[in-house]
Structure 1
Amino acid sequence: MGKKFSGDRIILKDLGFYGYHGLMHEEMKLGQRFFIDLKCGVDLSAPASTDQVSQTVSYAEIYDAVKFAFENKRMHLIEAVAQNIVDGLFNTFPEVQWVKVRVRKPEAPIAMVRGEAAIELRRHRSS
């Protein structure tokens, strides 16, 4: 898509997964919930004007790629989990020009009564 990116994006929010990522023994053994928010920069002008699903990136396929990247490898750090997701999206969808991914860990092993620990990565596709 040789033109400048328009600012369009596909958004998936509050994707919930159960995983065994973490540094603590209990995290690796018992696992915990994680939530992922995702924005993918994709030029959506063609599907917006044609109303043809063949002209867009399927958010169901994006979800499948995120799920696979989250589940296929155990990581110590949620930063690495997020980077694995970004890499999977860039490798699977050449149309995706940038990704913003937030990985939230509500049961992080810290003494908080309420809230969650989270990281956010913003990555642009290398030229």
Structure 2
Amino acid sequence: MHTAAIPNQVIGLESNHGFRILLIDDNRDAIDSMGALLSLLDYDVRTAEDAESGLEIAQNFKPHLILSDIGLPGMDGYALAPELRKAAGARKLILAAATSYGLASDKRRARDAGFDYHLVKPLDADLLISFVARQQNEF
């Protein structure tokens, strides 16, 4: 599992639109604010409030990056991660847990479920922007 680091440079707005991001969280305020911020930076963003709709959107939208909460209603993020990986097939996918679960055991469980990154909420806007830019740079 990787830690989120701040990149040396942020991608320019003109090149952000091709980077697709899916946000999955049952907290509407959280995904609305993260989605609005990333949309202002011209990222192509979709949101879902539960695992089932997130999986459906992921299959059609084919995101490059998914930030998913763990504590979702119905199927939790730990069960969702392998399903998202299966849906992506051979296509590259960056999967990040964005959760309030921050214990070492939570991080291990997220890694074991298939998450590449573990970010603890609430996410600072600068950290979110930097994290997404780094993922785009490395994609």
Q: Same fold (TM over 0.5)?
A: no
* TM-score tier after normalising by the smaller chain length: under 0.3
Q: By percentage of residues, which structure has more strand?
A: 1
Larger radius of gyration: 1
Q: By percentage of residues, which structure has more helix?
A: 2
